[in-house]
Structure 1
């Protein structure tokens, strides 16, 4: 665990402030700031610490409690549950959740519940795993609407494709035929795609299985099926890569709708 001095120095580095800028923002004399940061002053005045905390956007509790890990430098007061310390990543998740629509929050809640239930991934017998599945439920102007996806769980063989996959997506159009045909369950790995690699892309909240092409300052989503037009991406468009397509998922079993992975695991144990 880190000391008060170390946490102050870390918070200062994260803020990007110089000692002089921190002094100006907090109102604490520069000589006092330097003595505290260097450890020369071992028992700073509470008023000085409070001003430094305000300037660095950290809490006094975080600063003075050596048992709180250094990465949990943000705090949030939750009604009925007291004060919680958060990492920067946790705070970003909370911030993003706050700007979602009601429908978006419902999707995140359902997805989170399913992911939590998926925590015991290995099945009791055989080399199999459970994999989150996304299935488009409504069509937008050109692609599947991301806001209307249904979520499910697949029991899949653990092979080189599914072991690398983060989730699966049911292919509903023919844009990448003949490589993969509609109705194929595709394993997807989160992250950016390599050159000429197939992936799933969100363009203005619509989902497209395509290749991403960038040349001569132009970006477009390229279809393999020549009967589908390539989609130019304009500077004002919102483009996100959901992940790279690893291959088809074979011999999968779809868990009954409404059941949880825990229900499925229990049913498998009953068969032993």
Structure 2
């Protein structure tokens, strides 16, 4: 387990290191948090010096890996909201993001 590998004696110590509550750590590690928020997972992973993917799955995925080292709190909040909505909600969010990119493309990138 990441907590033991990182040499934390208990969940309280891990919670202090990660900057989240001990009850949140307990819910995540016990599996009672069915959809933990991305920011808490990121903080736990950082405190344990593992990737979020490893923390969640116990192994590095074969999927596209996303480095979350530069994610802001606002981005983590958006990811948490995205994960909590239905498939229809996810389609609406993607549509809104595509529209935003068309209206205000990032610098030095051409729109399709």
Give the TM-score taking structure 2 as reference length: 0.48
| Larger strand percent | 1
Give the TM-score taking structure 1 as reference length: 0.21
Higher Rg: 1
The structure whose RCO (Cα within 8 Å, separation 6+) is larger is 2
